Structure 1
Amino acid sequence: MIWNHRITRILVGISLFALAIVLLLPGLTGFTSLDGTVNARFAIVNAPIDGEVAETPPKVGARVLPGEPLALLHNTRVNRAILSSLQADHMTAVEHATALKRERDELVRLRDQLAARMEVFTRTTIADLERQVEILNKRVKVSEAQDNVAQVDFDRRLALEAKGVLSTKMVESARAVWEAAGGELEISGLTVAQLEQKLEAVRQGVFVLGDGQNDVPYSRQRQDEVIVRINDLNTRIAENETRAAQVQKQLIEEENRVRSLTSASVPSPFDGVVWSSNIVNGSNVILNTELMRILDCSDLFVDILVPEVDYQEIYPGLTAEVRLLGAGDVFKGVVLSVRGSSAVAEKDTLAANQPETTKRNDRIRVGLAPSALNTDFPNFCQVGRSVQVRLPKPNIGIWHWVEGLWFSIL
């Protein structure tokens, strides 16, 4: 028979050997994983305020651009009590300051009137004292003339007495007249000096008018009282204006707070796809309620499992080839991270499930280079698709395999 021919047996042996090489060669030259899944992260969009959804949000699977409104929320039940209180406080402070300014303006007018009256009184007093000084100066001159006449008459009579013409009594009478004239002259001089002192004091604003009278007239006293009152009003006006300014700042902050709680637009954080949505038009939401999840297609990756014995052969930066299951296109990738079998994997922000295993397998994350998958928004960027991943071995590692086998035998 043909099967008993030597050539046939040789050919069959060669075929079986070639088949074995074909079956073993992929494992010797690289790592192949069939449990990979295209994965990506998503952003959870929460409600920034309590309220009601006012417009129809984007549907699941819709592409959204960065900053595009995802939901518009309105809240008509915002507490405005603090805002109303601040508005009342601000209005009260402003009105009080305005009333105090009106009172101050009236007192300023009264102060000016008193100042004008005081100016008239001062000028009149100065003019009167100047006239009195002038009159007294005239009297001083008259007294000087009378003193000279009395002195001449005394000298003449004294000379006549020495000749025996006049008696001593007539001389003494002339002496008395002369002394009286000298006293009048001295009194007039002192009176002039006193009036000049009063005049100088009035010019300096001090009125020394006589016994029992004040050194400041009523107009000046009243003017001083008005000035004190004006200064007090200026202080109170400044306090109320400061209070109004402070309340105004608080009022602006409170208005901003109420405005932010009354209406809010939720923007898309990036260019992506609506992965899931929990709201419709008219939905009531509360603060931090999850509204929807936005898939980030800009960073696609694949998580695969590789036996932990090959941990040393795989490292970040190693190139990889990724093929979608059932498709012929091959996508380039690069190893992003290598984790041991006991490492805790992240799950909360991943769109697809990571491969599960009960064996000792390393978790390898392979990042996908930018490709058509990143813009395939209608198909959710192929997230969730199963893939085959091929990782090359830097060397065949037969000797490493032999050492591992020898170690396991020992």
Structure 2
Amino acid sequence: MFWNTRFVRIGVGLALLATVVIVLLPGFTGYTSLDGTVNARFALVSAPIEGVVSDTPPKVGTALPEGTSVFFINNDRISRTAEAQLDADLGAAKERLQALEIQAKDLSALKADLVTRLKEYQQASIVGVQQEIIIRQQRISTAQANKASAEADLARKQTLGATGVVAGSSVEQARAASVAATSEQNIAKAELERLQRQLDALKRGTFVGEGRNDVPYSQQRTDEVTIQLANVEAQIRTEKARIQQLNGQLHLERARNDRLSFAAVQVPFKGVIWRNNVVAGSNVVVGNELMRLLDCRDLFVDILVDEVDYDEIKPGDRADVRLLGTSDVIGGHVLSVRGSAAAVEEVVLAALPPKSRGKNARIRVALDPSDMQIDYANFCQVGRTVQVRFARSSSLQTLADPVVNWAKSLWFSIS
């Protein structure tokens, strides 16, 4: 029979051998996972303030560029009591400052008038003393002449008295007149010296005289006005500092109220809307989730492999990823390798990772840049099943590792 011929038996044997090789060869040359899932993270967009949403956001699946404003939240119930109080305090402080500046201006004018009057009085006093000095100088000259005349008359009468021509009483009168003339000259010199000292004091601003203080009334009033002016200027500086402080506080309070009364929620990165939770007119509070934005910039794949191959796959290893139903292959590299008991729940993942059916290691593979990252209409293929393959080294020792590992594990289990 034909089916019992030698060539048919040889052909069937070769076919069976080829089938075995085809089935076993992928396991010797690499690792393959058939239950991978394309995954990505999404960002939670929350309400920064409480209020009412003014516009309905774009629909789910809409691609938005970075910086797009998708929500406008208005809050008309914010309390502005503190801002109004600060504004009133600032207005009152400005009015006080204006009044103090007017008072300082008036005091400065009064001080200038008093200084002018004092200078006029000082100049008049100096002129009066200078005139008295001139008179005293003339009196000194007269006293000198009288003294010389009295001394000459005394000498003549003393001579005549010695001869008996003039009586002794006349000599005594002449002597008294000479003494009186000398005393009058000394008094005149003393008066001149006093007036000279008074003139020097007047030039220095000190008024010295009988029945007068060291300074006139205008000088005293000038001192009082100077003290008042210094106090007013100190109040002006204090009021200016308070106004500056109130301005800063009012600016901060107004900026805070502006932030709490209106907010424009913007997209932090280019992505696609995954879920919307509000519409126009919705009331929200701080922290309310408004929408979820899918981040397609970093796509990755979560897969499961037998945990016996845990040590054979390391972070950084290259991998080939093929979407189920297509022939296109996308490159990638291993991000992390985790054991079967590792806790891998992540609340920000857009797709569910594959569920372990036994002792499976969890591998996360980052995908190289591709058209999937801009396929916003299909949510960047998130959730799609893929096949992932890791290549082994081509050496014979590496190809025999699966058999050796199987034999070691079998011996360990029965020993």
Task: Give the shorter-chain TM-score range.
Answer: over 0.9
Equivalence for 2:414:
409
Equivalence for 1:319:
318
Output aligned runs, 1:5-404, within 5 Å: 5-211=5-211, 213-394=212-393, 395-396=398-399, 397=401, 398-404=403-409
- Distance in 2, matches of 1:150 and 1:54, equals 121
Please list the CA deviations of residues 382-404 of structure 1 after superposition, one character each: whole Å capped at 9, or x if unmatched. 00111111222233223333333
- Distance in 2, matches of 1:160 and 1:253, equals 112
TM-score by length of 2: 0.95
Runs of 4+ in structure 1 deviating by more than 6 angstroms, as ranges, are: none
Could you say what secondary structure the match of 1:265 adopts? strand
Please list the CA deviations of residues 341-392 of structure 1 after superposition, one character each: whole Å capped at 9, or x if unmatched. 1211141111100111241111001111111111100000000111111222
Supply the AA of the counterpart residue of 1:56: T
Please list the CA deviations of residues 241-296 of structure 1 after superposition, one character each: whole Å capped at 9, or x if unmatched. 01111111111111211111121111111111111111112222111111111111
Q: Give 1:325 shift.
A: 1.7
* Greater Cα offset, 190-199 or 35-44: 190-199
Please list the CA deviations of residues 302-333 of structure 1 after superposition, one character each: whole Å capped at 9, or x if unmatched. 00011110111111122222121222222222
8 A contact 1:347–1:353 mirrored in 2: no
- Distance in 2, matches of 1:58 and 1:158, equals 140
* Greater Cα offset, 301-310 or 18-27: 18-27
- Distance in 2, matches of 1:349 and 1:113, equals 81
- Distance in 2, matches of 1:296 and 1:51, equals 27
Q: Give 1:166 shift.
A: 1.0
- Distance in 1, matches of 2:210 and 2:277, equals 98
Please list the CA deviations of residues 186-225 of structure 1 after superposition, one character each: whole Å capped at 9, or x if unmatched. 11111111111111111111111213x3111111101110
- Distance in 2, matches of 1:317 and 1:224, equals 88
- Distance in 1, matches of 2:407 and 2:296, equals 44
Could you say what secondary structure the match of 1:208 adopts? coil
Supply the AA of the counterpart residue of 2:350: A
- Distance in 2, matches of 1:204 and 1:366, equals 97
- Distance in 2, matches of 1:137 and 1:284, equals 104
8 A contact 1:320–1:389 mirrored in 2: yes
Supply the AA of the counterpart residue of 1:290: E
Please list the CA deviations of residues 22-68 of structure 1 after superposition, one character each: whole Å capped at 9, or x if unmatched. 22222222222121110001111111111222223122111011111
Supply the AA of the counterpart residue of 2:407: V
TM-score by length of 1: 0.96
- Distance in 2, matches of 1:281 and 1:393, equals 56
- Distance in 2, matches of 1:187 and 1:384, equals 126
Q: Give 1:6 shift.
A: 4.0
Could you say what secondary structure the match of 1:55 adopts? coil
Could you say what secondary structure the match of 1:197 adopts? helix
Please list the CA deviations of residues 117-165 of structure 1 after superposition, one character each: whole Å capped at 9, or x if unmatched. 1111111111111111111111111111111111100000001111221
Could you say what secondary structure the match of 2:326 adopts? coil
Could you say what secondary structure the match of 2:298 adopts? coil
8 A contact 1:157–1:166 mirrored in 2: yes
Q: Gaps spanning 5+ residues in structure 2: where? A: none
Could you say what secondary structure the match of 2:116 adopts? helix
- Distance in 1, matches of 2:306 and 2:76, equals 59
Could you say what secondary structure the match of 2:297 adopts? coil
- Distance in 2, matches of 1:314 and 1:208, equals 110
Q: Give 1:12 shift.
A: 2.5
- Distance in 2, matches of 1:61 and 1:220, equals 88
* Greater Cα offset, 144-153 or 180-189: 180-189
- Distance in 1, matches of 2:10 and 2:109, equals 131
Could you say what secondary structure the match of 1:165 adopts? coil
Q: What percentage of aligned pairs have identical amino acids?
A: 45
Supply the AA of the counterpart residue of 2:273: V
- Distance in 2, matches of 1:9 and 1:197, equals 153
Could you say what secondary structure the match of 1:40 adopts? strand
Q: Gaps spanning 5+ residues in structure 1: where? A: none
Supply the AA of the counterpart residue of 1:231: A
- Distance in 2, matches of 1:335 and 1:189, equals 119
Could you say what secondary structure the match of 1:107 adopts? helix
